[in-house]
C-alpha cells in the first residue's frame, strides 16, 4: 500500500507542477520516456542473460557428450589411418546437427533481443541505433581486412 500511495503522491506532484508550469510538461514527458527506456532495457537485459545461461548450459552438455563419445578409441582401433568408420561418422553427424541447432538458438536469441530492444526505443532512436550498429559492423570488418592484408593473411 505504501508503494501505491507513493505513486499517487508522484502523480499529484506531477499534475500540480504541470498546472503551475505548463512548459514543464515536455520535461516530464522526456523524463518518463528516459525512465521507460531504462526499465525496458534492464528487463530486456535480464531476460537475455537468462536465455544465454540456458544456451550456455546446453552447450556445456553438448561438449561433455562429445567428450564422452569414444571417438579416439574408435580411431585407435581402426585397422588403418583414414579408414571410414560408421561409428565415427554417426557420432560426428549427431554432434554437427546439435551444433547447428545451437547456432539457430543463438541467432534466434540475438534477433529476439534486437526486436525487443528496438521496441523499447522511439522510432527515431531505433533508426539511429540500427544505423550506428551497421556502421560499427562495417568499420570492424574493414579494420579486420586491413589487418589481414597488413599481416599477409589474404
For 91-102, the pLDDT digits (tens) are 788 888 999 999
pLDDT for residue 78 is more than 50? yes
pLDDT at 5: 36
Are 37 and 120 contacting, i.e. CB atoms less than 8 angstroms apart?
A: yes
pLDDT at 79: 66
> CA 114 to CA 130: how far, in whole Å?
10
The cell for 92 is: 560426428
pLDDT for residue 115 is more than 90? yes
List the end-to-end C-alpha distance of the chain, in Å, as a whole number: 67
Q: What is the 3-state secondary structure (H, E, C) of the chain?
A: CHHHHHHHHHHHHHHHHHHHCCCHHHHHHHHHHHHHHHHHHHHHHHHHHHHHHHHHHHHHHHHHHHHHCCHHHHHHHCCCCCCCCHHHHHHHHHHHHHHHHHHHHHHHHHHHHHHHHHHHCCHHHHHHHHHHHHHHHHHHHHHHHHHHHHHCCC
**What are the tens digits of pLDDT across the range 10-58?**
444 444 444 455 555 556 566 777 778 888 888 989 999 999 999 999 9
pLDDT at 107: 94
pLDDT at 66: 75
The whole-number average pLDDT for the span 109-136 is: 91
CA 120 to chain centre: 15
pLDDT for residue 80 is more than 70? no
Average pLDDT, the chain: 78
Alpha-carbon separation of residue 115 from 56, 110, 119, 122, 132 (angstroms): 22, 9, 6, 13, 16
Amino acid at each position: 500500500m505504501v508503494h501505491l500511495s507513493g505513486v499517487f503522491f508522484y502523480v499529484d506532484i506531477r499534475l500540480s507542477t504541470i498546472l503551475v508550469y505548463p512548459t514543464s510538461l515536455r520535461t516530464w514527458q522526456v523524463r518518463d520516456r528516459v525512465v521507460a527506456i531504462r526499465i525496458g532495457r534492464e528487463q530486456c537485459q535480464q531476460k537475455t542473460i537468462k536465455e544465454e545461461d540456458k544456451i550456455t548450459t546446453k552447450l556445456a552438455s553438448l561438449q561433455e557428450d562429445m567428450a564422452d563419445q569414444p571417438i579416439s578409441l574408435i580411431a585407435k582401433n581402426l585397422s588403418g589411418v583414414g579408414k571410414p568408420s560408421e561409428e565415427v561418422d554417426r557420432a560426428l553427424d549427431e554432434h554437427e546437427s546439435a551444433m547447428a541447432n545451437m547456432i539457430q538458438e543463438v541467432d534466434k536469441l540475438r534477433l529476439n533481443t534486437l526486436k525487443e530492444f528496438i521496441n523499447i526505443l522511439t522510432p527515431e532512436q531505433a533508426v539511429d541505433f540500427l544505423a550506428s550498429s551497421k556502421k560499427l559492423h562495417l568499420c570492424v570488418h574493414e579494420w579486420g581486412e586491413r589487418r589481414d592484408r597488413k599481416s599477409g593473411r589474404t
